[in-house]
Amino acid sequence: MTYTRKELNAINSILTSLGQAPVTAIDSDGDLSYPTNPDVAMAYSTLMEVSEEVQSEGWTFNQEKHYPIDVDDQNEIPVPLNVLQLDLCEDRVLWTTDNVTKMDNVTKNYYPELVQRNGKMYDKANHTYKFNQNPVFFDVMWLYPFDDIPTVIRDFIVARAAVIACMRILGDGNQYQMLQQRELYCRSQAMEYETT
């Protein structure tokens, strides 16, 4: 797995916030699987953990309502790998050529208790992985690669990762407080982005 320029910049931001020298590459061959520098490895893993954690909060850029997911040839619904959360729609919209009809609780009536198990959706009410409706409509929260996240959210992720890295590596209370102030500022910017 190779890294991107934005990931390298984020890692360098984390490292410099800890008083470390920035790096020009993650590893000599650009492979993130085995970074040779332990601080770089820790910074990268922290960045990816925080990215998933922040995206799990649910933002306008990574949530999609009424997303249709087709059943496969075994009548099962596989969960896409980049899904953080998958919930049945409370309602769905049926699009036709001449009008739009809202169908309240159609999907809920068919499958009231769906959960993710073994990489696919499971119907707890009927005790089955099999579905006879196609497609089934979901509200989805996606996990996006770091480069595809809006800049203001990326800044918040980097600031939060720097705070966590400071706790893990330095344990310096003063540096931790300064980095926390930066995190709070970046979070407020992210919230402003979200509300506009």
CB 120 within 8 A of CB 78: yes
| Mean pLDDT for the stretch of residues 113-132 | 90
DSSP 8-state secondary structure symbol assigned to residue 116: E
Query: What value does the mean pLDDT take over residues 98-108?
Result: 46
- Whole-model pTM: value is 0.81
Q: Is 137 exposed, middle or buried (0-12, 13-18, 19+ CB in 10 A)?
A: buried
Q: Encode pLDDT of 3-33 as tens digits.
A: 789 999 999 999 999 988 888 876 655 555 5
| pLDDT tens by residue, 148-177 | 999 999 999 999 999 999 988 877 788 889
Q: Smallest Cα–Cα separation from 62: which of 143, 118, 168?
A: 143
Residue 116: which residues within 8 A CB-CB, separation 6 or more? 79, 86, 122
Residue carrying structure tokens 């999609």: 64
Per-residue confidence (pLDDT) for residue 24, from 0 to 100: 83
| pLDDT score at 166 | 92
**Rg from Cα positions in the chain:** 21
Long-range pairs, 105-112, Cβ under 8 A, ≥24: 107/133, 107/136, 107/137, 110/136, 111/136
Mean pLDDT of the chain: 85
81-120 burial, b for 16+ CB within 10 Å, e for fewer?
Answer: eeebbbebbeebeeeeeeeeeeeeeebeebbeebeeeeee
